[in-house]
Amino acid sequence: MNEHLLSDAEVARFLVSGYHLVEPELPTGLNESIAAQLNALDYNPGDAITEAVPELWQVLDHPTVKGALVSLLGPDYEVQSHRHWHCKQPNSPHMNWHQDGLNNRDVLLNRFLGLYYPTDVTPDMGPTIIVPGTQFRNATYSNIRGQVPLVVKAGTVAFTHYDLWHGTAANRSPHKRHMIKFLFRRTQDNTAPTWNHDPEAANKPADWNERDRAEDVTNILNFTNPTTTRSAPSAARTGTISWACRPNPNP
């Protein structure tokens, strides 16, 4: 058993919800060094961000990060050449819901994104917001229920399905919010599980009484259904985002 690989339940949750977070124990000072280099950049190098900040490779090479990638894409996964630094400036507005490409509804898991955050992200910093399960549907532009703001600690890597609907809240803080987006791709079909697989994992019968707290593969796949998320009332159909990150009216 490899401690860095995902479990059956974690793989099942990724398939259903479309995201998985890892918090690697990176070397002391690495996140701070990367953030300082990003703050010093006066241009966006696009795909060359890893040339401008080569320490980013230390994040991708961490065993916990690689373990998740091997679990979901196989041991011969590819880090694709496209990558991008997203810098959410202070006092910048929200970003509307979108997908990074056309929703092909592929039944195979062949590629996904990795979002690395070198600093803590608080609710007022304009966090990335995702809606679990929306990789399976063509959502309308609206204030979709079920939003999950990625309010995370420094060093977190969020793996998200390529077709997952996402956007950002407004950055109401005085701080820049950095995120580096990477794209990963499968190169070989799986011939066997590449995660920590228990052959008995799928043998547990479905249990309606456990549907709201499913922790096993059978019940996760049968009852965990984020695609039941619905749009908010028509008054919210302006493409706005952010109920989970709006200012507290009663501080």
Taking 70 as the pLDDT cut, the residues of the chain under it are 101-107, 139-142, 210-212, 224-251
For 112, counting Cβ atoms within 10 Å of its Cβ (0-12 exposed, 13-18 middle, 19+ buried), the class is buried
pLDDT at 40 (0 to 100)? 97
Q: Specify the pTM.
A: 0.87
Q: How many CB atoms lie under 10 A from the CB of residue 225?
A: 14
For residue 156, give every residue at least 6 positions away whose Cβ sits within 8 Å of its Cβ, in sequence order, or none: 21, 22, 23, 116, 117, 121, 150
52-83 pLDDT tens trace? 999 999 999 999 999 999 999 999 999 999 99
From edge to edge, which strands make up the β-sheet containing 111-116?
A: 19-22, 157-161, 111-116, 177-185, 78-88
pLDDT at 73 (0 to 100)? 97
Q: CA angle at residue 85 from 80 to 125, to 5 degrees?
A: 135
Closest among 184, 187, 220 to 204, alpha carbons compared: 220
103-141 pLDDT tens trace? 566 667 899 999 999 999 999 999 999 989 888 777 656
Domains of the chain: 8-188+236-245 (2.60.120.620)
pLDDT at 233 (0 to 100)? 35
For residue 161, give every residue at least 6 positions away whose Cβ sits within 8 Å of its Cβ, in sequence order, or none: 14, 18, 19, 109, 112, 113, 135
Closest among 40, 110, 107, 99 to 74, alpha carbons compared: 110
How far, in Å, CA of 67 to CA of 84, rounded?
22
pLDDT at 118 (0 to 100)? 99
pLDDT at 248 (0 to 100)? 42
| 3-state SS assignment for residue 226 | helix
Closest among 239, 72, 242 to 139, alpha carbons compared: 239
Q: How many residues does the chain have?
A: 251
pLDDT at 219 (0 to 100)? 80
Closest among 181, 156, 183 to 79, alpha carbons compared: 183
Closest among 194, 206, 230 to 67, alpha carbons compared: 194
Q: How far is CA 101 from the centre of its chain?
A: 16
pLDDT at 86 (0 to 100)? 97
pLDDT at 215 (0 to 100)? 78
